[in-house]
Structure formats: structure tokens, C-alpha cells
Amino acid sequence: MKQIKAIVATGHLDKQGEMLAPEALYGMAEQANKAYIPMWVEHDIAQPPIGRMTHAEVVQMDDGVLAVQSTREVWESSADIANIKSDGRKIDGYDDRFSPIVVDGSERQLMRHCQPPMKASCFGETRSR
């Protein structure tokens, strides 16, 4: 399992002439630390997650601007998933779509209730034609 750190948001001026206030950056980090945030390839939730954000903190960049830096686990094999350490946090926003699996007596929130092709009921949605 790889652990990587990445800047996920900054207080720099963006292309639209807007910037995130320091309070927003601190709020993002606080929210990210309440639950694991899953990572997918291309944000494709029809596929299993490839990792999770485990921690976020506000840091000061070299130019003095504040940023949110995340620590992420990227699972390179199924053995990585079996060795995940849990502190009891859930996977944010997806707990109703994942059921726990047991590995060495510990619950892991990784197994999907529904397998592809995905149905609207897997996501708690109602679709009308």
C-alpha cells in the first residue's frame, strides 16, 4: 500500500478570480477527518475504490498561502485491503452502499451491496422514465 501526500485545496486566487477563505480550508480539513473519503479512478463509483483519504490538515505553503494537504492510502493489491487499519471511522457518504467484511476479526467498510450493472436502488435514487 502506498501512502501519498497531496495538496487538495489552496487559498490561491483561481481562474475565476475567487479564493477560499482560511475558515473554508480549516472546515474542509475538519470535515475530511471525520470519515474516510474514498478514492476512485476517474471518480467512477461504479468501480470499487482504489484507496482512501485518511487525514487532512491545513499547512502553510512556501509562498505563505494556506492549503489543505491530505494523506491518502492507495491500494495496490487485494492484500493491501486485507491489511487496512481502522480507527472506527466510516467511508464518507457511502456507508449505505458498502457492507462490512470481516478481516482478522475487524470490520472493514469495503464490500458493495450491489454489483455492476448498478441499479438506481444501489444509490438510494429513484429514476423515472
Using 70 as the pLDDT threshold, list the residues of the chain that sit under it. Answer: 90-129
Radius of gyration of the chain (CA): 17
pLDDT of 92 reads 61
CB atoms within 10 A of CB 23: 8
If one counts every other C-beta atom within 10 angstroms of the C-beta of residue 72, the result is: 20
Question: Cell 470519515 belongs to which residue?
Answer: 35
- Which pLDDT belongs to residue 56? 96
Predicted pLDDT at 93: 54
Which SS3 state, helix, strand or coil, does residue 80 take? Answer: helix
Buried b (16+ CB within 10 A) or exposed e, 36-67: bbbbeeeeebeebbbbbbbebbbeeeeeebbb
The reply to whether the predicted model has a pTM over 0.85 is: no
**Is the Cβ–Cβ distance between 62 and 117 less than 8 Å?**
no
Task: Tell me what pLDDT residue 42 has.
Answer: 85
Query: What is the three-class DSSP state of 14?
Result: coil
| Residue 65, pLDDT score | 96
